[in-house]
A and B are shown apart, each in its own frame.
Chain A
Amino acid sequence: MRSADRVTAVLLLAFSAAFAAGALKYYSWWGSGGPGSAFLPFCLGIVMALLALLMLAKTFRSSSSTEGEWLPRGEGLRHMLVVLGVTVVFVALLKTVGMILGTAIYLTIMIRTLGKHPWWMTVAIACAAAGFNWLVFVHWLRVPFPEAGIWIF
């Protein structure tokens, strides 16, 4: 945890410096009669930099060597990455595959990989959820979902 805190503190420090500097460079510090658009961002950048420095100092001072595990390993990590990976692919292909069809495919893949449930159950849940999505968002709320050409209502 301590090394993670140290890395975060350094990253935050760099980010807040850039944030404050960017505010001063591109926006006006003082406007007509009052503070301009750079005023608060600059102050926030400074405050964040101070907080990051405090945290950095804390990681050096604390005597307790609690280098606890914070990253998951083994099965846990695999599960987490599967969920994240498949979700990213789903979102990336959202415009091509379409929301409703995509939902059905996504759910089938996820439920099958994570739980090893029987096929009929997996497909039934996936189709029911996709149908519910269509009913609520497309039919009732009239949200224009991205839809693939093969999926016409």
Chain B
Amino acid sequence: MDFLSNLQLGFSVAFTPFNLLMAVAGVMVGILIGALPGVGPPSGVAMLLPLTFGMDPTSGIIMLAALYAGTMYGGTITAVLINTPGESASVVTCLDGYQMALQGRAGPALGIAAFGSFIAGTVGVVLLSLVSPLLAKWALSFGPPETFALMLLGLTTCTLLAGEDPLKGYISMVAGLMLAMVGFDIISGDARYGFGVPEMMDGVDFLPVAIGLFGLGEVLGGAEQGKTQEVRGKLRLRDVMPSVADWVRTRWAIARGTVIGFTIGVLPGAGPTVASFLAYTVEKKVSSEPEKFGKGEIKGVAGPESANNAAATAAMVPMLTLGIPGSATTAIMLGGLMMWGLRPGPMLFEKNPQFVWGLIASQYIANILLLILSTLFIPLFVRAVRIPYSILMPLIVVFCITGAYSLKNNVWDVGQMLIFGVLGYIMKKLGYSPAALVLALVLGPLAERALRQSLIISDAGVGIFFTRPISGVLMVLAIAVVAVPAARALLRR
């Protein structure tokens, strides 16, 4: 009965008028952000994080989590209508979604994506609320070696999955860790790499970095292409309601997508993007008519779209229970948690139950809101996609600047944001991974503390990471993630 009373506590928090309003705002803004090409979930969460500083942390995370769920659906709108994924988890949706739109079936494509997302998201939250407390309880027994091994695993998987060239992924990750070394050392108190600049002594804040890399970096990339695409036709509410035939056709695709999405999302380091790709591959493999994929197969929309929502929900599991984010977006949320003065990890469930359960309960509500708002306001969102980039881009930059400034009310952070904006633009051009950098920057200080504490316990013996059963398994996995692809690349030569 512990579970039910916790959930009841959660709903009592989530159902306060202000928190409900925040959930609605989060979903609406999330769909918009997802729908606008050039702003993805990480930049959306990073840019809106400063808005939450004046709020209660629970309201803040409710808004950000609702926003994350919203972006997953928003990305679908552009993927289907203009063949441009609004965010990376909707890349595969373009394949069949856009083909459906060309055949005049944009409505059903968006409709089935909305309903699939709702089903997958809701199942995801149920699993989240069942799995998280157990995992948190188990994780309470983790010492510094386990924590370090888990972080290493999260970093290596995220990096491996982040881009095409794993080597550049690892370079991005190590660069993030190096940035994390700047500032006061938590154990000795040395001010590292400060060069006598007072602002540097505090270290490199993840927020200006994230806003720069994702927000400004993407704007600069978009400025270079600088065109808005034509949106075909009009969409009415009636058009997006899936027919019975569509339901029958996609029911298993949605179910499979949900399972794949949740499983992938729970893994530290793998998020919605990987889940949607995998779901698409699976749908194509199990289909009796694989030749239809890529030509407007509705299952090719339903599967991945369900998977990315389930994964976005599941990504909360490692973030809340272990303090290990599964993606760039949850890494930024985790950073937010720390800014609000909360310590992410298993203790969160014991110390801040109203926060954790409020968030979980609000996710149930957010999924219902997502379904209602995404179908009711579809004409509005379609219109938003039509906003010319020449208007959108300057507005995003202004939001990046105010966001970076309001972190500590200084121009230094804005300058930092600018520098990382340019860096993010170059990184993307050359195939490096901004996501791996941000994840490493957020995890860096935590990983260093765990590493050094472990070495103090073991009297400087590295064996401590391998002799303890849990950390041993995690370390072997982390090493395998790096070594296996490297070995395969060598053998192929």
Contacts and interface: CB of A to CB of B under 8 A. Distances in A.
Interface of A: 1, 4-5, 8, 12, 16, 19, 22-23, 26-28, 31, 33-37, 39-41, 44-45, 47-48, 51-52, 54-55, 58, 70-72, 75-77, 79-80, 82-84, 87-88, 90-91, 94-95, 99, 103, 106-107, 110-111, 114-115, 117, 125, 129, 133, 136-137, 140-146
A110 B393 contact: yes
Contacts, number: 167
A41 B181 contact: yes
Main secondary structure of the interface of A (DSSP, over half): helix
B211 interface: no
Contacts of A144: 409
Given A111-B394, A141-B53, A146-B411, A83 B188 contact: no
A145 B321 CA distance: 37
Interface in B448-469: 448, 451-453, 455-456, 459-460
Given A83-B397, A106-B394, A129-B398, A27 B223 contact: no
Contact of A37 (B174, B188, B395): B188
B190 A28 contact: yes
A114 B389 CA distance: 9
A51 B170 contact: yes
B178 A129 contact: no
B470 interface: no
A115 B388 contact: yes
Given A83-B393, A99-B402, A144-B409, 13 more contacts: A28-B188, A35-B455, A44-B181, A48-B174, A51-B174, A70-B430, A71-B429, A80-B220, A91-B411, A91-B415, A103-B398, A107-B395, A110-B394
B339 to A, nearest CB: 14
B178 A44 contact: yes
A33 B187 CA distance: 12
Nearest to B188: A37
B190 A70 contact: no
Contact of A41 (B175, B178, B391, B394): B178
Given A91-B418, A103-B398, A117-B391, A40 B220 contact: no
Nearest to B178: A44
Nearest to B418: A91
A144 B53 CA distance: 14
Contacts of A117: 388, 390-391
B174 A70 contact: no
B394 A76 contact: no
Given A33-B456, A106-B398, A143 B430 contact: no
Given A51-B167, A143-B409, A91 B193 contact: no
Nearest to A142: B54
27 contacts: A19-B193, A23-B192, A26-B190, A27-B185, A36-B190, A37-B187, A37-B192, A44-B177, A51-B167, A72-B224, A76-B226, A83-B394, A87-B397, A94-B401, A94-B411, A94-B414, A110-B397, A111-B394, A114-B393, A117-B390, A125-B391, A125-B395, A136-B51, A140-B54, A141-B54, A142-B54, A146-B411
